Structure 1
């Protein structure tokens, strides 16, 4: 039995001797079931503030539901063609904004996720998809001696009187073309703007965001306001305090099952670490090893990234940029498909992180695979990462079994720190999302599909604007690349070792998502036809881009391939390199090959390589198996 009686970090706190304990006998590190007293990330501004718990969660009520955006009164469009607006908030008012937007505080201050922000010339990027919980923006004052305002000159052309408001917000679109993804796949028609949104006259100019209230949305119960428990709040505050005061590095891993709130906790923690104090050169490392729900990796990839003070808030669904240190293409959204390769890639990521010798903080985002072989992988990953803090989110009965199977070393040693004992916290699971509306319609596979589509259709990515063009790829001319001879020196089909004919190989590759790798030196291949097939893995291969193969031209020894616009420059910059094309298990979006607009229906005679217009007969190629039928010949006599 392991007793949670003492914290191993930060200033000392008095704790009662009768703290909760855990019967997780396989855990030998200190377990803290009770969250420690909070310092509060905004306590320097609100020292006496009490946190009310409503239904087990902290929130500011539902003031945002009653906020009414009225053009010319508290809502002032700037008519700049980009949908930019000024929103005036009086003392104590809240506003909820869904979508993707950039927020500049022109006057006063705001409170967002318990973090206080003063008016500044800087903008904050926020992502609020309707499929996840959103945080309201609470009006506040300018928390400094000399108040400064940053009201844009365009405001002089409106009826805005800045003295009427405690806080003035400038809101502009973060993305261009984001909403047009619904034309490619209708499932995402209300991913960013609620389907029942009905704006007031003069309020809406079709940007990528909207103000949500009872006046603009028929049913606000489908909108989840982010609320967290007291344990979450104090755990976040405690980790932030350690980050500020400790002379050593901090390594945090958050464990739990699927949909337990791991990603939400990590986003809130990253916000506190990077935006509390807000030094320009602050950064932290983020190890993203969940290929199915990555934060800063490309689809079906894992990565090591550096996050800075320009960290984007909310659930950006993999669209926010980060400084990539290293990235590996796993080739599947589930680690159990290629467990050996996955563990090898994760080990190399952690080794690369260790070589950085950072004295700062690092966060580890892990999959929700907490049973069977997944527990063994998590044990290996944790002991390689050598965390200073382990946060375990308890969401269901399976979580307790997982906790009992964890085998965490009692002490760790790193070049930065010798013989430290990891501190383990057990907190409640997050239950802030509603069960109706878009939340019950969009599941994890849909969100993975969104990430993949957005990746292939992102055409520009700057700090101020991300642009998308969701025109189906089949309407564009693919890039033609030759092989044997040519820059492509080898093809690799993972988990497919049988010799194949050129015709079968073409069928396998046509219309598939592949990884494109550069490598140095020579690679060993074999040929059963025109295609050079990789015999063993290249030692110095480097992942460059994903690609979608339109078709393979066997006669001319070339492939026709689509590459995301955002990575075309990187690919062209390596035109003298040698390339490996690897096909794994990344699923191809059907809407790319056969758009819902049916615009390809006129091409029945063209022989598109990835389409078949043959209509199967009823029950063709279908086996119906009848079980548990006891016939006379099977009876016991």
Structure 2
């Protein structure tokens, strides 16, 4: 039995919260500047929130926007035995996010240009959350697979919904010869500037509070303090884990091999299950091809309708990309040239695999047309995560359609390769580890968790709040590729576009609901307050089944609603053939005026563009699929709260009674139109169940 020393005391057991507070107080004491640095100047390193380690949900809205973010570096995770031997798992240990050490020389803010200059040496890393423009002054840097050279500027959007990108020194690009910069300013290998930018996405929390904190730093972290970083926050250490974007060891050699110009153009087909990093690998490869090879542009075929990279959900698309993509999927609208896209109406190909394959084949024909015109475009094909059962059969069909030169498999895909790849055709196989094996990309335990469904909602909300751009019908590009969004007004406060669907002035020539049979008098009950795709069909395309149906069933000048019942055809594929059909984008049907034959439409497409389609001889068809309508797009939650307060104070319904599809909990009582009891008829039941 051990003896108690004279100065030992019996300690009361500590709760997890008390232990955490004690640990954070010790860390804060260690982080205090020494007396030798107490010269009245602000410290170079600023603790984010160690002085107030405990927060309640009601306090979150009062946290300053400059409060730093959470992040976690896989390279900084302690060894496994260290983690296992921790006496209390609730006591967090600071993790190094950036190994950059700020000094007065390597991090300088200019009050005149409002830019921050950062100087890096090889081996140093720098992680930033937020929005910013990065401009390389000397040397080269790498970020998200892109090698950024001297005199190049790129916009970066890095919220906490995805792993944060890492900025590092990089060797000179293979794309063109760059003279080695003179070793000056202390022998730094790369010097770049940071400038605050505002795309409008930082206000997304006004529309959907679920994403209010995606731009805010971790509650407890160490950040670089700067007056100019009003839209971004460099992070040095963090107690609360936030993932940073680092690649598994096997990825980089494969990306280097695929970026080689020995065989060009390549067709690279990417396969893997869910959440293995297909989109991340595709993004890294895309950026590396554009910036670190001889190719000035890359073709990107997105065949994942559930988590697309550049469009809202339920769309397959072909893009021509000429600059690196340094933003998450919900912030990429307008950053690529959309060569062609098809709205399939579902987040999975399982609902209509035949139409899915037809759309994919049509997009591949468009890619081959570009190649025949002389464009040497390497093709990246990103597929969905359905690799079992029918999904594997679809992959086999897609391989036949795309004819890849290289197939990249992430995770356990040996069985998939054996079934989907043809023998003897020289297709190169690359088997890589899944990204999730080391928590290198994506969410990690303890960080802000967002499911694929959450991110689809965010992507849809961002799509409908982007600022409209005027563009020609043959090109989806714009001179300004930087995304721009407006969350100042809720969609319910935005004046809709009025489009007639009857009479001589009609602009909507047909409406349909995918895979659904509905009585003609209930058409707008099924369409109102839903998301529809805007389909374009040439008026002189007499072979198109939709044109044939409209001419056979409807007089051009009558006042009958031009309803096209999709269930009379071969699923959806017979009516909405991919050949000859163009998807311009999505719209929300805000309201219907059946008396005047008009629809109210909300869409991020400029009215001049819609008029241009009509002038070019296109008929417009509206098609409703199974696109999810986020409730926050049609309900202003701030107005709803105000309505509840009015109800308590005056007895009037206020904003609550304006929401026919919703109910609210008000002091334990469920209120609102949606809370009223539904009266149903029970005509079919067994005799023993009937009341006597």
Q: Give the TM bin, normalised by the shorter chain.
A: 0.7 to 0.9
Kept in 1, the 8 Å contact 2:165–2:245? The answer is yes
Kept in 1, the 8 Å contact 2:657–2:673? The answer is no
Task: Give the direction of change, closer, same or farther, for the CA distance of 1:206–1:133 in structure 2 (3 Å limit).
Answer: same
Deviation per CA, 1:345-379: give whole Å up to 9, x if none: 11111222223335442110100011121111110
Q: For residues 376 and 108 of structure 1, what CA distance do their matches in structure 2 show?
A: 48
Matched with 2:544 is none
Matched with 2:429 is 424
Matched with 1:379 is 396
Task: Give the direction of change, closer, same or farther, for the CA distance of 1:113–1:289 in structure 2 (3 Å limit).
Answer: closer
Kept in 1, the 8 Å contact 2:135–2:194? The answer is yes
Task: Give the direction of change, closer, same or farther, for the CA distance of 1:438–1:186 in structure 2 (3 Å limit).
Answer: farther
What is the CA distance between 1:546 and its match in structure 2?
Answer: 0.7
Matched with 1:74 is 107
Kept in 1, the 8 Å contact 2:318–2:341? The answer is yes
Q: For residues 622 and 137 of structure 1, what CA distance do their matches in structure 2 show?
A: 64
Kept in 1, the 8 Å contact 2:102–2:224? The answer is no
Paired residue for 1:454, among 462, 486, 497? Answer: 462
Deviation per CA, 1:494-534: give whole Å up to 9, x if none: 11123242xx3222111100011222234524589942211
Kept in 2, the 8 Å contact 1:70–1:203? The answer is no
Kept in 2, the 8 Å contact 1:509–1:552? The answer is no
Paired residue for 2:673, among 605, 614, 626? Answer: 614
Deviation per CA, 1:318-351: give whole Å up to 9, x if none: 5152122111111222111222211111111122
Paired residue for 1:409, among 410, 422, 427? Answer: 422
What is the CA distance between 1:573 and its match in structure 2?
Answer: 2.3
What is the CA distance between 1:478 and its match in structure 2?
Answer: 0.9
What is the CA distance between 1:199 and its match in structure 2?
Answer: 7.7
Task: Give the direction of change, closer, same or farther, for the CA distance of 1:164–1:186 in structure 2 (3 Å limit).
Answer: farther
Paired residue for 1:355, among 361, 364, 369? Answer: 369
1:179 aligns with 2:193: no
Q: For residues 179 and 468 of structure 1, what CA distance do their matches in structure 2 show?
A: 9
Q: For residues 311 and 73 of structure 1, what CA distance do their matches in structure 2 show?
A: 26
Matched with 2:278 is 262
Q: For residues 326 and 389 of structure 2, what CA distance do their matches in structure 1 show?
A: 34
Q: For residues 346 and 91 of structure 1, what CA distance do their matches in structure 2 show?
A: 44
Local SS of the residue matching 2:362 = helix
Local SS of the residue matching 2:367 = helix
Once the two structures are superposed, the pairs formed by residues 545-556 of structure 1 within 5 Å of their partners are 545-556=585-596
Matched with 1:18 is none
Query: Structure 1 residues 172-181 or 542-551, which shifts more?
Result: 172-181
What is the CA distance between 1:95 and its match in structure 2?
Answer: 1.0
Matched with 2:29 is none
Deviation per CA, 1:356-415: give whole Å up to 9, x if none: 3354421101000111211111100011111111111125xxx455445x232224xxxx
What is the CA distance between 1:96 and its match in structure 2?
Answer: 0.6
Matched with 1:583 is 624
Paired residue for 1:436, among 415, 435, 445? Answer: 445
Q: Which runs of 5+ in 1 are unaligned?
A: 1-51, 57-61, 150-160, 412-419, 624-637
Matched with 1:572 is 611
1:475 aligns with 2:499: no
What is the CA distance between 1:183 and its match in structure 2?
Answer: 1.2
Matched with 2:190 is 167
Paired residue for 1:466, among 464, 483, 488? Answer: 483
Does 1 or 2 have the higher relative contact order (CA < 8 Å, sep 6+)? 1
Once the two structures are superposed, the pairs formed by residues 36-185 of structure 1 within 5 Å of their partners are 64-67=97-100, 74-78=107-111, 84-90=115-121, 92-112=123-143, 116-120=147-151, 122-139=152-169, 144-145=178-179, 147=181, 165-185=188-208
What is the CA distance between 1:261 and its match in structure 2?
Answer: 1.2
Q: Provide the aligned C-alpha RMSD in A.
A: 3.6
Kept in 2, the 8 Å contact 1:530–1:557? The answer is no
Q: For residues 78 and 364 of structure 2, what CA distance do their matches in structure 1 show?
A: 39
Query: Structure 1 residues 83-92 or 286-295, which shifts more?
Result: 83-92
Matched with 1:512 is 530
Give the structure-2-normalised TM-score: 0.68
Matched with 2:287 is 271
Matched with 1:284 is 298
What is the CA distance between 1:297 and its match in structure 2?
Answer: 3.1
Matched with 1:541 is 581
Paired residue for 2:633, among 592, 598, 615? Answer: 592
What is the CA distance between 1:182 and its match in structure 2?
Answer: 0.9
Task: Give the direction of change, closer, same or farther, for the CA distance of 1:225–1:274 in structure 2 (3 Å limit).
Answer: closer
Q: For residues 367 and 229 of structure 2, what CA distance do their matches in structure 1 show?
A: 43
What is the CA distance between 1:443 and its match in structure 2?
Answer: 0.8
Matched with 1:327 is 341
Deviation per CA, 1:143-180: give whole Å up to 9, x if none: 9546389xxxxxxxxxxx95685533212345421110
Q: For residues 367 and 268 of structure 1, what CA distance do their matches in structure 2 show?
A: 18
Kept in 2, the 8 Å contact 1:301–1:330? The answer is yes
Matched with 1:338 is 352
Query: Structure 1 residues 195-204 or 111-120, which shifts more?
Result: 195-204
Task: Give the direction of change, closer, same or farther, for the CA distance of 1:594–1:199 in structure 2 (3 Å limit).
Answer: farther
Q: For residues 349 and 78 of structure 2, what CA distance do their matches in structure 1 show?
A: 36
Matched with 1:189 is 212
Task: Give the direction of change, closer, same or farther, for the CA distance of 1:104–1:77 in structure 2 (3 Å limit).
Answer: same
Kept in 2, the 8 Å contact 1:99–1:128? The answer is yes
Matched with 2:542 is none
Kept in 1, the 8 Å contact 2:279–2:382? The answer is yes
1 or 2, which has the higher helix percentage?
Answer: 2
Kept in 1, the 8 Å contact 2:660–2:674? The answer is no
Task: Give the direction of change, closer, same or farther, for the CA distance of 1:518–1:115 in structure 2 (3 Å limit).
Answer: closer
Report the count of equivalent residues: 528
1 or 2, which has the higher strand percentage?
Answer: 1
What is the CA distance between 1:68 and its match in structure 2?
Answer: 5.3
Kept in 1, the 8 Å contact 2:147–2:288? The answer is no
